[in-house]
Structure 1
Amino acid sequence: MTESHAEHVGTVVVGSGFGGSVAAYRLAAAGQQVVLLERGRAYPPGGFARSPAELGRAFWDPRAGLHGLFDVWSFRAFDSVVASGLGGGSLIYASVLLRKDERWFVDEQPLPGGGYESWPVGRAELDPHYDEVERMLRPVPYPLDRPGYTDTPRAHAMREAAERLGLTAERPPLAISFAPEPGAGPEPGLPMADTDQGNLHGVGRRTCRLCGECNLGCNDGAKNSLDHTYLSAARRHGAELRTGHEVRAVRALARGGYAVDYVRHGRHERNGPNGEGGGERGDPDGRGDGGGASGSPHPYGSPRTSRTLHTISCDRLVLAAGTYNTVSLLLRSRRNLPGLSPAVGSRFSTNGDHLAFVLRARRGDEPRPMRPSRGPVITSSIRLPDELDGVPGAGRGGYIQDAGYPGFVEWLVEGAHAPQGVSRAARFLAGRLLDRISRAPDPSLSGAFAELLGDGAFTGTSLPLLAMGRDVPDGELRMRGGRLDSTWTVRGGSAAQFERTRTLMRQIAGALGGGYADHPLWHRGRVLTVHPLGGAPIGRHPGTGVCDPYGEVFGHPGLYVADGAAMPGPVGPNPALTIAALADRMCTRLLEHRPATPRAAAHRTYPRRTSLQFTEELRGRYAPGADGSRTEPFAFRLTVTADDVDAFLEEPDHEARADGWIDSPSFGGRRPVLHGSVRLFADGRGTMRYRLHFTDADGHPRTFAGRKDLAPGAPARLWTDTTGLAFRVLNGHGHEPGGTDAEILGTGTANLGATDLARLLTTFRTTGPHGTAALTRFGRFFAGELWNTYALRRP
């Protein structure tokens, strides 16, 4: 491919899903220059595929000339469906907006196969951003108690099944407009007034018709999808939305900022705040024919893909192309992003997705109607308890939801359902044969045709169930043979989670008097997921995360990840709201640290720092109280990070950040470090000081204050001095390393064993340019201080 002349902008956002749309809106609303690149096309109301010919081409595979909505991925142990279009996953999701449970924001929770799940952000921090996203997407529960909506049998069935099992079925918030305007009563199919966010499609919308077509794309515009909300508002504030732009690579520039390489699909690609780019009304990507080849337009696929590689550079780059594509970009661009965390590709999970079916439900001796084609896709949600809820032995929790589908699917299922369909057809043909040889054939065929079509009892009394939950994020995404590959398997650490989910789904089917069946691929050890998460997780340091807790990539200022790839573990419920809230939080932090003027932003350069980190784990004994009459086990594990090695070595305090946990029975077991620091040889003294803030099980603030004292002139004590730590635990959160005013709650000692030391030496990592040189400088500094203290001869 050839490369065209590059252009430069303030911010490039790659992808228009829940992370990218939020970022584009927040930055544009703050007056920033924003260009959003989306590979797919725009889908105005009425633009989604419905006919067999349209659905046959509504898939994403540019190699086959397909540029449609559905992007299907297949890995060794699971298959996955994601979206390609302006609005990303919001175009095909079921509109559920649930918050991640406060107790599920775990920190250092051990995983079955080893390692820990850590969320470096809590529910209290996210709640204001949850509020903001909900304000934009306007979710409401399904109005089951309103006239015209009570006839939704599956919603009542879910509530009854939950009650029989001692659980609760709730109506989750849905980003769907059931009423034509706020404050009005719900009524299907009414015209909706435009909101103050604008309407980038320029096509009218109607309230939900209860047709069950949410996952195919809403042709009425009743879903408050991202194109109708965040993206319309972003364009109103000046963001430029470019569809048909597929990003192939990103790279850091020597002068600061980033370059983005992309190809174009179709003819017209730009959509500025006033609709520039030649697009027709209702088609903001400028392709009235949906991007079809000249002379043979087709709204759901196009063989036209430019082979010219274009480049756009920017001061700030937000990757939000969806989990698979964002991780693929990072892996393919690794050589051009020096110092990228080794955690890239890690902590992948499927969010516990599972599909099963209730078959032929009954109430006593009578068939129990379900009518899955009546209503939106999801009306109800049953929450599975978690051991974190205080339910011993409950395992990792989750959710089970009903799943509706379009009416035409019922025809397909009934027609394919054997042997009943074959038997009816045989009886119909036999009757017609008898009529032909009879001397007095019956002229009325109404009854015969009714019997041929059947009573729809199978589909009318059956119901798909969707499950999701806290599976184990032990998968890895990696490149294999130039293509994305995954190591995740349901037979790994998540096996217990899926079995528990299936058990409850089977119990729901039994409570409804029906049979139970998993989706067909399950029996081949395969999972179906629409919620792939992880691969570029947030974390407290580069050893465990690709990004910091605000989504900025470690070692690469101005590079952010804002989609499902940033999740450090499963969300549990439907992840859309949490992804959007984290993106909103990211933007708040980003804007607080922006340059003072737009001109400064345009010419901003970023220093290339090198960070260093290592992890140590010590164990010992702790004596609560003043008398020290009894002791108990005590342990802690810390990842020590010098964010800038040069600054760390130059500053007299030599202070580094410490993240991790302490483990003590007196304080409620394993407790996360809220704020920690380690000072090595501060002011040239032979002392290493540790200061760790944490809270006990009751939320009381505590401070761990430890020190290693190196005795001059005693080489024989080198091992014991550098591996032994004396500490105190203080009441409150003290900040002065040498302070003695706080109440002492207890004292103890901890030691680094020989095997622990060997393990520590394998944990040294650097991020940023010239990592080997930085590690060498740190080693010389440490060895030099030991030499000065113990008068050891250099090797």
Structure 2
Amino acid sequence: MVESIERVDAVVIGSGFGGSVVAHRLAEGGRSVVLMERGRSYPPGAFARTPTEFGENFWSPGDELYGLFETWSFRGLEGVVSSGLGGGSLIYANVLLRKDPEWFVHDSPLPGGGYENWPISRDDLEPHYDRVEAMLDATPYPYRDTPKTEAFEMAARAAGHDTLRPPLAVTFADADGAVGPFLPVAPKPYGNLHGRARFTCSQCGECDIGCNYGAKNSLDHTYLSAAAHHGADLRTLHEVRGVRPVDDEWEVRYRVHRPGEGPPAEGAIRAQRVVLGAGTFGSTYLLLRNRASLRGLSPALGTRFCGNGDLIGFLMGAKEQIDKVARARRIAGSRGPVITSAIRVGDRVDGDGSTGRGYYVQEAGYPGFLNWLLETAQLRSVVSRSTRVALTMIAKRLSLAGESNISADLAHVLGRSSLSTSSLPVLGMGRDVPDGVMYLDRGRLAVDWTTATSLEYFGAMRTTMSEFARSLGARFVDNPLWLAKRVITVHPLGGAPMGRNEFEGVVDPWGEVWGHPGLSVVDGSAMPGPVGPNPSLTIAAFADRAADRMLESWPRQRRRRRPATGKEPHMDATTPEPEEPPIGPAPGASGAPGASPTSVAFTEQMKGFFVLGEGDPRSAAADARVRDERMMFELTITAPDIDAFVEGDSHEGVATGYLESDALGGRQQVERGWFNLFVGSARDDERLMKYRLWLTTDAGTPVTFVGFKEVRDDPGFDLWEDTTTLFVQVLDGHVPPPAEVSDTGLLDPTDPAVLGAGVLRIAPLDFAEQLTTFRTTGPGGAEAMARFGSLFLGRLWSTYGRLAKEEA
């Protein structure tokens, strides 16, 4: 019996725009809430600024990095997300735009089949938009003299576009309404979890790398502080690994990172509700890894991925005519928040004559210190100026004048910094095609998405950006990745999309996972397509709506899980395992009294196809091959006592090693394993090679891998096929071996205890390598190997020898 497990009303996983909102609402509603965030807390002043700090500011615990940024590289795109208390709000550009009413599309066809469907409308979200905007103190950018804003709006008007100043989650004014930089921010009634002073926006352009002044109304300063005020337990450096239902509760398995102190600690907690808010990559990854524990997940899992149409471009070297002379236009992209102004380009669904897929373009600021990098990048020009000035200074020192004031000379070396002053990044986002697919590849998250189906959309956006460049006398420069038709997204969406039913979506219109009451997804992964504008506000409003439903329906009874088999109860963390049957004979059971037995072992690797939700190995393998769902194992098979192994009827050995299957969440170590060589079956002309492995998924769900090879006297000489083909099932729970050794161990394909099935095989080269792995321990190794070989070959000969003679 294990120790008692902590229990709460709700566990929220992730602290972004979905998780933070729900944690606050549930805590405010009187529920006990534990929020788990894998990253650190970042109070004002804690964000990286030096090169050394930035070098360590990435999230990769396996490399002992526990920083803010996590970067992903997939087919067709790069992704940038964050790890920290406050999630994406720590590095987003503060924009709070509502999704356009017309862009909640229905039955919008997608390349390759299927449709983009939004089961909710703008009207459904309207009151929640209001509530979130009020909580985040959304306000348009108030300054009228910011060069980059003026330049962008001038270029937009010249290109025929109306501009808008979107609401920003930034504090620009003090408690008295005075607008200005570095003014004290009035504390909120719910306090601030960091306990540090905050100041109004300094216009430093550092929003995307963390605001060190506390001017951003990020989630840690708002929703999370309010959640803590109402009693929510916010736990940082807690990374969730598994989720599973246990009786009428949900169990969450997690690890606690301890940087500099040693390996992570493991833990478990149970709740009536579990809310996934770990972001598109995080939540989808968790669901994919825990499919074996979450039976019956929608086939839509992993679909409808997109990057919300993200594209970055650059307007370089803007110029203006002054007294008929072209001079660098002062844009000063590093002054102001990252985004202050935007335009909207219409969509064919708007019904106003617009064509194509709609999008937004926004000007983008950047931190002031990047100006130095931009200017230093012009190394040839800098070196040339420096050389000329150095020669001039030497000449002056050698002259009779001997001038000592070199200020003007140094000013010439630095130059006018025209490139950084006259350049501006621009950001685009909108309705790209949500036809990407997310899946696991050897336990790692993978995404198949391409710009190919959205080239018309991206082409139109690049044309708009080029028009802006011409209006400013600048040249338009693509993101270098665009040369390979790749994009960078900071707004990944989809993977667990909402839908009108369990076939169309993973979650319902309120974020609850179809078929799994009490489990919800409230982040960007639940979006069934692109939001269009910056998605943060829509995700938060969706989460707020989901929280309403949770509170209205609490408490709620879940269906109990079915037993693992008709005879064996499902085992969970509080159920003691039955006494395990012994494997092999006790030491000294054969040979001279007290003598050490001689063992024989070999290593075997098999690979094939396996899929959840089907019970017949052959048909399951065919389906898995189409879906590219793979499985493999590497086992060391040991006969602990060769005498007992050869003489007994069960020819039972021990199997150790690992099994790897994305359907089961990646690589799992074998906790206990059985192997039987050439035992009898229900047919006289058949012998069985049997495998049984106990494993436990990351969610804590015990499962049993069972498989058999059948060696049969069929018409035709199919020795290779028989001895290298393994028919397998994975069963719910740790199921002991059957009483009859002739039982294959596989259940009826329709038995509810069968989680999935497939077929594994040994490739010829792997079989040849397997033959080199045989080894013995103990006395009489050569004799032991001969006895094992005699059993192996003898059984094969008894089955195939007669048929071989007849064919000869």
1:594 aligns with 2:551: no
1:259 aligns with 2:251: yes
1:328 aligns with 2:285: yes
**Secondary structure of 1:235 counterpart:** helix
Aligned to 1:372: 333
Query: What is the distance in 2 between the residues matched to 1:605 and 1:345?
Result: 25
The residue type paired with residue 534 of structure 1 is G
Relative distance call for 1:140 and 1:4 in structure 2 (3 A) is farther
Measured after TM superposition, the shift of residue 490 of structure 1 is 1.1
Q: Out of 332, 356, 365, which is 2:313 matched to?
A: 356
Query: What is the distance in 1 between the residues matched to 2:345 and 2:749?
Result: 46
1:498 aligns with 2:454: no
Number of residue pairs matched by the alignment: 563
- Note the alpha carbon deviations across 1:323-363, whole angstroms, 9 max, x for none: 10111100000011000111110000000111110011112
Aligned to 2:197: 204
After the TM superposition, which residues 550-589 of structure 1 pair with which residues of structure 2 at under 5 Å, given as runs?
550-589=510-549
Query: What is the distance in 2 between the residues matched to 1:135 and 1:607?
Result: 41
Contact 1:24/1:231 (8 A) holds in 2: yes
Query: What is the distance in 2 between the residues matched to 1:384 and 1:3?
Result: 60
Relative distance call for 1:393 and 1:223 in structure 2 (3 A) is closer
Query: What is the distance in 2 between the residues matched to 1:3 and 1:505?
Result: 61
1:8 aligns with 2:2: no
The residue type paired with residue 559 of structure 2 is Y
Query: What is the distance in 1 between the residues matched to 2:5 and 2:505?
Result: 32
**Secondary structure of 2:369 counterpart:** helix
- Note the alpha carbon deviations across 1:586-645, whole angstroms, 9 max, x for none: 1111111112xxxxx7xx443569xxxxxxxxxxxxxxxxxxxxxxxxxxxxxxxxxxxx
**Secondary structure of 1:205 counterpart:** coil
Contact 1:323/1:533 (8 A) holds in 2: yes
**Secondary structure of 2:292 counterpart:** helix
Aligned to 2:158: 164
Query: What is the distance in 2 between the residues matched to 1:431 and 1:478?
Result: 64
- Note the alpha carbon deviations across 1:435-473, whole angstroms, 9 max, x for none: 566666543321211011111110000000011110000
1:233 aligns with 2:200: no
Contact 1:62/1:305 (8 A) holds in 2: no
Query: What is the distance in 1 between the residues matched to 2:290 and 2:2?
Result: 17
Query: What is the distance in 2 between the residues matched to 1:383 and 1:426?
Result: 48
Contact 2:304/2:435 (8 A) holds in 1: yes
The residue type paired with residue 516 of structure 1 is F
Aligned to 2:366: 405
After the TM superposition, which residues 680-691 of structure 1 pair with which residues of structure 2 at under 5 Å, given as runs?
none
Query: What is the distance in 1 between the residues matched to 2:211 and 2:273?
Result: 33
- Note the alpha carbon deviations across 1:18-48, whole angstroms, 9 max, x for none: 0000000010111111100001111111111
The residue type paired with residue 331 of structure 2 is M
Measured after TM superposition, the shift of residue 214 of structure 1 is 0.6
Contact 2:518/2:558 (8 A) holds in 1: no
After the TM superposition, which residues 106-185 of structure 1 pair with which residues of structure 2 at under 5 Å, given as runs?
106-145=105-144, 150=145, 152-181=146-175, 184-185=177-178
Aligned to 1:512: 472
After the TM superposition, which residues 695-706 of structure 1 pair with which residues of structure 2 at under 5 Å, given as runs?
none
| TM-score, scaled relative to structure 2 | 0.68
Query: What is the distance in 1 between the residues matched to 2:544 and 2:2?
Result: 34
1:445 aligns with 2:427: no
The residue type paired with residue 265 of structure 1 is H
Measured after TM superposition, the shift of residue 558 of structure 1 is 0.4
Relative distance call for 1:507 and 1:114 in structure 2 (3 A) is farther
The residue type paired with residue 180 of structure 2 is E
Structure 1 residues 430-439 or 393-402, which shifts more?
430-439
1:293 aligns with 2:231: no
- Note the alpha carbon deviations across 1:148-184, whole angstroms, 9 max, x for none: xx2x111111111111121111111000000112x61
Contact 2:111/2:435 (8 A) holds in 1: no
Query: What is the distance in 2 between the residues matched to 1:293 and 1:196?
Result: 37
Contact 1:3/1:311 (8 A) holds in 2: no
Contact 1:347/1:568 (8 A) holds in 2: yes
**Secondary structure of 1:388 counterpart:** helix
Query: What is the distance in 1 between the residues matched to 2:196 and 2:82?
Result: 22
**Secondary structure of 2:18 counterpart:** helix
Contact 1:403/1:464 (8 A) holds in 2: yes
Aligned to 1:666: none
The residue type paired with residue 18 of structure 1 is F
The residue type paired with residue 229 of structure 1 is T
**Secondary structure of 2:528 counterpart:** coil
Relative distance call for 1:409 and 1:362 in structure 2 (3 A) is same
After the TM superposition, which residues 238-317 of structure 1 pair with which residues of structure 2 at under 5 Å, given as runs?
238-253=231-246, 255-266=247-258, 292-293=259-260, 304-306=262-264, 308-317=265-274
Relative distance call for 1:771 and 1:507 in structure 2 (3 A) is farther
Query: What is the distance in 2 between the residues matched to 1:226 and 1:377?
Result: 18
Measured after TM superposition, the shift of residue 568 of structure 1 is 0.2
**Secondary structure of 2:450 counterpart:** coil
Aligned to 1:213: 206
Measured after TM superposition, the shift of residue 409 of structure 1 is 0.7
Measured after TM superposition, the shift of residue 771 of structure 1 is 11
After the TM superposition, which residues 15-26 of structure 1 pair with which residues of structure 2 at under 5 Å, given as runs?
15-26=14-25
Aligned to 1:43: 42
Measured after TM superposition, the shift of residue 293 of structure 1 is 2.3
Q: Out of 412, 435, 441, which is 1:474 matched to?
A: 435
Query: What is the distance in 2 between the residues matched to 1:432 and 1:199?
Result: 56
Identical columns (%): 53
Aligned to 2:677: none
**What RMSD in Å do the two structures reach over aligned CA positions?**
2.0
Contact 2:155/2:468 (8 A) holds in 1: yes
Measured after TM superposition, the shift of residue 198 of structure 1 is 1.6
- Note the alpha carbon deviations across 1:569-596, whole angstroms, 9 max, x for none: 000000000000000001111111112x
Query: What is the distance in 1 between the residues matched to 2:506 and 2:328?
Result: 53
1:463 aligns with 2:420: no
- Note the alpha carbon deviations across 1:23-79, whole angstroms, 9 max, x for none: 000101111111000011111111111112211111111111111111111112211
Contact 1:263/1:305 (8 A) holds in 2: no
Contact 1:477/1:486 (8 A) holds in 2: yes
**Secondary structure of 1:419 counterpart:** helix
The residue type paired with residue 313 of structure 2 is A
Query: What is the distance in 1 between the residues matched to 2:523 and 2:387?
Result: 53
The residue type paired with residue 197 of structure 1 is Y
Q: Out of 262, 278, 296, which is 1:339 matched to?
A: 296
Measured after TM superposition, the shift of residue 305 of structure 1 is 4.0
Query: What is the distance in 1 between the residues matched to 2:406 and 2:423?
Result: 29
**Secondary structure of 1:12 counterpart:** strand
- Note the alpha carbon deviations across 1:186-241, whole angstroms, 9 max, x for none: 11101112111221111111111111111111111111100111001111111110
Contact 2:164/2:342 (8 A) holds in 1: yes
The residue type paired with residue 7 of structure 1 is E
**Secondary structure of 2:469 counterpart:** helix
Measured after TM superposition, the shift of residue 260 of structure 1 is 1.0
The residue type paired with residue 511 of structure 2 is G
- Note the alpha carbon deviations across 1:131-161, whole angstroms, 9 max, x for none: 010110011000024xxxx2x1111111111
The residue type paired with residue 60 of structure 1 is W
Provide structure 2 residue ranges, at least 5 long, that are not aligned to the other structure: 563-747, 753-808
Contact 1:176/1:208 (8 A) holds in 2: yes
Query: What is the distance in 2 between the residues matched to 1:5 and 1:70?
Result: 36
